[in-house]
Amino acid sequence: MNPGSPARKQATTPDTPRVAAFFDLDKTIIATSSAFAFGREFMHNGLITTSEALQMSLAKATYMIAGQSSEQMDSTRDQLAALVAGWSVEQVRTIASETMHNVVTPAIYAEARELIAFHRSAGHDVIIISASASHLVDLIAEELGIDQVVATELEVEDGRFTGEILFYCKGDAKAQAITDLAAENNYDLSVSYAYSDSATDIPMLQAVGNPIAVNPDRAMKKAALENGWEIRTFRDPVPLFQMPSPREISIGASIVAVISAAAAGGIWWAQRGRRGSA
């Protein structure tokens, strides 16, 4: 497959099998973690404390360096679900929407945009399938002009998150979602595509005839090499680690101590994650 080559529009009738391209989000379409990306903006709007914002920044840095094991993903899921309990859904959407172009748009891989355009020109359906919360994934999908999303669903009552998770879009659940979409939309999975970086998405790639590992973690790369899957590296943009400005964090002795302790914990977590995935 060559994204730069011309593609003929897929001619279909209601009974003709269709082709789909399923994209993971974090580190596949965007060079960051969508779950942690808006931490600074949530802090500025009073939803989280400075300490919680620091923890989210360190968690994002750790994720970008070492990725997350299945167990770490589950832990992050539970922590974030508890954190957002009581938050207004509308306020979260407003904050994320207003800051999208500063926070997420610069982190979208140019290579991912090209691939999405390629699949569209070929007449393929493009779907984002992500473990992040649908309320954030939907906004990123809108930015990319993608109207099909499968993502983690959080319970909402009276316009506020309850902290409960209705559907966790991870691992085998992603593969099942792909199978369900194929049945609903007459996708031919044997000629469809799936893109992801994480070993937790191996079932997702196994569900299609054209699996592509993008910026794969160690376990995903091992699976790709063993199965003869295509491996791609997206480099534009290079993930950015922005340091807080002096106006945002006062560099007092106590703050330095907190950051140092947290950073040590982050490094330990990264090393532990590497050992666990070895």
Contact 249, 268 (CB under 8 A): no
Whether 1 is in a domain gets the answer no
Question: Would you state the pLDDT for residue 193?
Answer: 98
Q: Is residue 161 in a domain?
A: yes
Query: Contact, 230 vs 213, CB < 8 A?
Result: yes
How far apart, in whole angstroms, are the C-alpha atoms of residue 119 and residue 42? 35
Its pTM surpasses 0.85: no
Structure tokens at 90: 């509308």
Residue 124 dihedral angles phi and psi, to the nearest 5°: -85, 145
Instruction: Check which CATH number belongs to the domain holding 70 and give it.
Output: 3.40.50.1000
Instruction: Give the count of domains, the chain.
Output: 1
User: Using CA atoms, how far apart are residues 147 and 162, in angstroms rounded to an integer?
Assistant: 26
Per-residue pLDDT reduced to its tens digit, 80-94: 776 778 789 898 888
pLDDT digits (tens, 9 = 90+) for 160-214: 999 898 998 989 999 999 999 999 999 999 999 999 999 999 999 999 999 999 9
DSSP characters over 40-75:
HHHHHTTSS-HHHHHHHHHHHHHHHHH---HHHHHH
Beta bridge partner(s), residue 61: none
Q: Say whether 18 sits in a helix, a strand or coil.
A: strand
Residue 158 contacts residue 177 (beta carbons within 8 Å): no
Query: 260 pLDDT exceeds 80?
Result: no
Q: How far apart are CA 102 and CA 44, in angstroms?
A: 14
How high is the pLDDT of residue 138? 92
Give domain status of residue 94, yes or no.
yes
pLDDT tier at 74, thresholds 50, 70, 90: low
| 4 assigned to some structural domain | no
Largest CA distance in the chain: 68
Domain presence at residue 28: yes
Assess if residue 7 is contained within a domain. no
Which residues constitute the domain of residue 52?
20-236+248-277
- Whether 59 maps to a domain, the answer reads yes
Strand partners, 88: 160
Which sequence positions are flagged as catalytic?
24, 26
Asked if residue 242 is part of any domain, the answer here is: no
Whether the pLDDT of residue 32 is over 60: the answer is yes
